[in-house]
Amino acid sequence: MTMQTLPRRLGVAVVMAVIVGFLSIKLNTFRDYQIAEVATEVTAVAGLTVLTGLSGQISLGNGAFMAIGGYTTALLLMHLNWPFFAALVASAAVAAAAGAIVGVAAARLRGPYLAGATLMLGVALPSVAYAWPGVFGGDQGLNVAFTTPAFLGATFPLTRWQAWVSTAVALVTLVLLANLCYSRTGRNWRAVRDDEVAAALDGVNVAVTRILAFVVSAVCAGLAGSLLAIVTSLVAPGAFTITLSISLLTAAVIGGLGSLPGALWGSLVIVLVPTYVTDVATSHGLSSSVGSNIPIAAYGVVLILVMLVFPQGIQGGLRRLLTAFTGPDPKTRTRHDASAAHVTPSADDASASQHEKEGTS
């Protein structure tokens, strides 16, 4: 299903907002918190899936941009008493600047070299908080004061408001990203990903296109970091470890790289599976050392299995199921279908198509 026009996308967003709003009222506080978690994750993952899936640039360090967004928001809220939405926009701007810097530095890097550089970024940036504890609060981090606005009344639960705010930001981000993906920029991204030389010959400015993708993904991550700050009421280096960056990529790939619905599926998996497995473990009363590690091991198994069973990610798997039932829909296999553009040949043909590249006839 490709949403090709703005009204349709807005319509979908509104429907989802209503569903989430309904769920947030019906479900308990913990579920509201999970909704906020998922929304935060989706915001960041959506940006990363565009960067890695559409423009072909792997990043293992988007957690750094989240940290930038989170700390900017925390500092603005704390020192300048800005209203949250102003801080949100400012955080996005700062993250955008950081994304531009990183994008420029990474413009010539490819594949594992880009992965290595972004990995080191993800590791190194949080250490800034340790190095300048006076400003950034060091290990303890900074507390973020966030309350429900007055017009909602005194009894409106904070967690529900947090869920609403994060969902709103996530949906707006998704709509804007969808517009971008189907615009000329999106086509440029895919062109540069598929064949840089051909794209350059076509008049695409390869460097600018790649940098722009980094900026966009940094903005998304910055927004997510901002949300994380108000949802957890804290920004600390421990929240922005390399594990966070890696889990963003994991969510993007598991959901279906390059696909916005995939960002949602992947975020759901990343947020819900570990909690679920931990619940199962504790409900069986396992001892602390074993019990706390079984979810970890199980999570690893889930990652491996999903990748082996659904090489195209969950969105790709769903698409296969859909075409299995309904037959291939010519409308869906458009040029703009990011995941289809990324479809790899099946295992038997893969070596053949590689050989095909080596010769003709």
Partner 1 sequence: MSSAAVQQDGSPALAVDGLVAGYGGVIALDGVSISAGTAAITAVLGANGAGKTTLLRAVSGMIKPRRGRVLLGGADLAGRSPEQIVRAGIAHVTEGQGVIPELTVEENLRVGMMSWPGPLSRAPGSRSRNPRAERAAALDEAYGRFRPLADRRRKLAATLSGGERQMLVIARALLSRPHVLLLDEPSLGLAPRIMAQVMDLVVRLSREQGLTIVLVEQNARSALAVADHGVVLNLGRVVASADAQTLAADVALRHHYLGF
Partner 2 sequence: MPVVEFLQFTLSGVVFGMIYAAIALSLVLIWRGTRLLNYAQGGMAMFTTYVAIEVIYHTGSYWAGFVVALAAGVVLGAVCQLTVIRPTMNKPPLNAVIVTIGLLILLEGLAGIFFGGQYRSFPAAFSITGLKVGSTPLGVSRFDVFVVAAVLVTTLALAAAFRYTSVGLRMRASAFNATIARLSGIRVARMLTIGWALAGLLGALAGVLVSPSTFLYPNSMDAIFVFGFTAAVIGGLDSPVGAVVGGLLLGIALSYVAGYLGSKGSELTSLVALGILVVVLMIRPDGLFSATKVRRV
Which residues in this chain contact partner 2 in the complex, by CB under 8 A?
52, 58, 105, 108-113, 115-117, 119-121, 123-124, 127-128, 130-131, 197, 242, 246, 249-250, 253-254, 257, 289-290, 292-304, 307-308, 311, 342, 344-345, 347, 350-351, 355, 358
User: Is residue 355 at the binding interface for partner 1, with CB under 8 A as the rule?
Assistant: yes
Q: Near partner 1 by CB under 8 A, which window of 122-130, 148-156, 264-272, 352-360? A: 352-360
Residue 296 interacts with which of partner 1, partner 2, none, CB < 5 to 8 Å by class: partner 2
User: Is residue 323 at the binding interface for partner 1, with CB under 8 A as the rule?
Assistant: no
- Of 139 and 329, CB closest to partner 2: 139
Rounded Cα distance, 124 and 118, in Å: 10
Residue 361 interacts with which of partner 1, partner 2, none, CB < 5 to 8 Å by class: partner 1
Least Å distance, CB 298 to partner 2, is: 7
Of positions 203, 327, 330, 359, contacts partner 1 by CB under 8 A: 359
Residue 311 interacts with which of partner 1, partner 2, none, CB < 5 to 8 Å by class: partner 2
Query: What is the chain's Cα-based Rg?
Result: 21
- Of 202 and 349, CB closest to partner 1: 349
Q: Is 269 exposed, middle or buried (0-12, 13-18, 19+ CB in 10 A)?
A: buried
Residue 352 interacts with which of partner 1, partner 2, none, CB < 5 to 8 Å by class: partner 1
The token duo for 5 is 């026009």
Least Å distance, CB 45 to partner 2, is: 13
- Of 25 and 304, CB closest to partner 2: 304
Residue 171 interacts with which of partner 1, partner 2, none, CB < 5 to 8 Å by class: none
Phi, psi values for residue 182, rounded to 5°: -95, 5
Q: What is the DSSP string of 45-87?
A: HHHHHIIIIIS----S-HHHHHHHHHHHHHHHHHHS---HHHH
Alpha-carbon dihedral sign for residues 229, 47, 264, 257: negative
Of positions 18, 89, 305, 352, contacts partner 1 by CB under 8 A: 352
The token duo for 91 is 């955080």
Phi, psi values for residue 235, rounded to 5°: -125, 125
Site string for partner 1, 328-347 (x = CB under 8 A): -----------------x--
Rounded Cα distance, 32 and 52, in Å: 30
Rounded Cα distance, 301 and 295, in Å: 10
Least Å distance, CB 197 to partner 2, is: 6
| Residue 12, CA distances (Å) to 18, 99, 212, 224, 310 in order | 10, 29, 26, 21, 26
Residue 324 interacts with which of partner 1, partner 2, none, CB < 5 to 8 Å by class: none
Least Å distance, CB 130 to partner 2, is: 5
Within a 10 A sphere around the Cβ of 183, how many other Cβ atoms?
12
The owner of tokens 């940036």 is 125
Least Å distance, CB 310 to partner 2, is: 9
Q: Which of 241, 237, 235 is nearest to 142 (CA)?
A: 235
| Contact yes or no for 168/230 (Cβ under 8 A) | no
List contacts with partner 1 (CB under 8 A). Answer: 345, 348-349, 351-353, 355-356, 358-361
